[in-house]
Amino acid sequence: QKRSLSFVLPSTLAISFTSIHNKVTMTRTCVMFTIKDKTGALQDYLATIKKHNVNMTRIESRPSKNVAFDYDFYLDFETTPENESQVESMLSEIRDSGAVVTRIGDGDGASKTANLAWFPRKISDLDEFAVKPMDFGEDLSTDHPGFTDPVYRVRRAEIVRIAQTYRHGQPIPRVEYTQTETETWGNVYRKLRELSNKFACRQYRYIFPLLEQNCGYSDKNIPQQEDISRFLKECTGFTLRPVQGLLSSRDFLNGLAFRVFHATQYIRHHTSPLYTPEPDCCHELLGHVPLFADPDFADFSQEIGLASLGASDEDIEKLSTCYWFTVEFGMCKEGDSVKAYGAGLLSSFGELEYCVSGKPQLRPFDPMEACRTKYPITEYQPLYFVADSFQSSKEKMRHFAETMDRPFSLRYNPYTQSIDILDTRDKLVSLANNIKSQASSLASALQKITTLD
């Protein structure tokens, strides 16, 4: 189941990604710049864009994160390989005005000036992923149990369309599952519930009853993503988002940076309830969901996501491998024993028992080692990495991410659900003031507790 441009202190960030539109490769470039509160300031830069014949598709303005009473503007414009030189000429003119331009490319190395892959700046940018999965959930391989079942294929396509049309901010549409689908779920649910009581980590066993009480988890009902997402958001800030099929590793990990987990809504074929060749709602809801309600695990997952923003293809592969050996097939210490926490284990009948049988090799989790370790995808894992705790794993991943080559640091802003790019002194001062305020609140709370003691 493998599964800030200103006239005084300019700083410009250009972000690009590639899409296919009418069989023409279109590259959308996002330019962020800061403008002084001065009449005509924006028009000067818009005139530069217009002069170079660049098609602007969106403009947004926000209070500046750099200087008080300035404005941050975000411009989107489209380019093609044919007019890439016009874009470069435009950016050169902006640089000549004193701006420091950083161009973030589409991740495919297509742009000569690209030095970082495109990444979503705010949570609604995840809508871009909705139209470009690696494969669609309705496309079945010839060895899929439902390949020759026309009724199942039509049903899959129907459920996939929900994810295709969903956009951020909307309630997740509910799926009216059939009796056959619910019975398939029930067969999987009962068996995994029994095994998880023996082999799953304490956090999983603690949270699962809460899902039964609050989200409709039972062997007679397939819970709805909207109900689960609301519950997770109240617990840790994580949410679910329906997805058509498999996303690229980059897109999937980018979502985690916003505490968003892309999850499928369709279910495996009823003739093979104990097997699925791809992630389905059993894997997502029984394997992944419970631990997203645990604060330490949620933090750890987001660390992997934040590390993926703007990462090179090589680093994405390393992060994906770390994800495989943790979120999918991770194990952790629990007293004198070792328990499973990876979703690939918690949703697999055979491998959940196998991983604690003493047959596979167990090693302490180390991202530097894990990221270079090869793994099979069609058989049980010969090696599992064991975490001391989710907290320690989070710290290890944070240190690992610091070794990656990125020209600036990033920070997730939970208030705006967006990524702050810490590339100017003013932004760092603002962050430091925020931390200072939080530290003051912490000191006050500690003092009150000490007084009570």
User: Would you list the DSSP string of 223-256?
Assistant: --HHHHHHHHHHHTS-EEEE-SSPPPHHHHHHHH
CB 313 within 8 A of CB 406: no
HEC states along 347-404?
A: CCHHHHHHCCCCCCEEEECCHHHHCCCCCCCCCCCCEEEEECCHHHHHHHHHHHHHCC
Rounded-to-integer distance, Cα 195 and Cα 139, Å: 32
CB 339 within 8 A of CB 363: no
Structure tokens at 287: 């394997």
For the chain, give me the number of helices (H) and strands (E)? Answer: 15, 14
| Locus of tokens 């699925």 | 276
Rounded-to-integer distance, Cα 49 and Cα 53, Å: 7
Instruction: Indicate which residue of 11, 249, 283, 320 is catalytic.
Output: 283
CB 27 within 8 A of CB 79: yes
Tell me the residue type at 45: Y
Rounded-to-integer distance, Cα 145 and Cα 39, Å: 65
User: Would residue 409 show up in a list of annotated catalytic residues for this protein?
Assistant: no
| Locus of tokens 């170079």 | 52
Rounded-to-integer distance, Cα 253 and Cα 302, Å: 9
Rounded-to-integer distance, Cα 325 and Cα 10, Å: 43
Instruction: Indicate which residue of 16, 347, 348, 418 is catalytic.
Output: 347
289: Cβ–Cβ under 8 A, 6 or more apart, which residues? 211, 228, 232, 240, 261, 263
383 exposure class (CB count in 10 Å sphere: 0-12, 13-18, 19+): middle
User: Would residue 347 show up in a list of annotated catalytic residues for this protein?
Assistant: yes
Classified as helix, coil or strand, 145 is coil
Instruction: Indicate which residue of 181, 284, 303, 328 is catalytic.
Output: 328
Classified as helix, coil or strand, 132 is coil
Instruction: Indicate which residue of 16, 144, 288, 418 is catalytic.
Output: 288
Tell me the residue type at 160: V
User: Would residue 288 show up in a list of annotated catalytic residues for this protein?
Assistant: yes
Residue 383: half-sphere exposure toward Cβ, Cα within 13 Å:
15
Rounded-to-integer distance, Cα 309 and Cα 289, Å: 23
Residues forming the active site:
283, 288, 328, 347
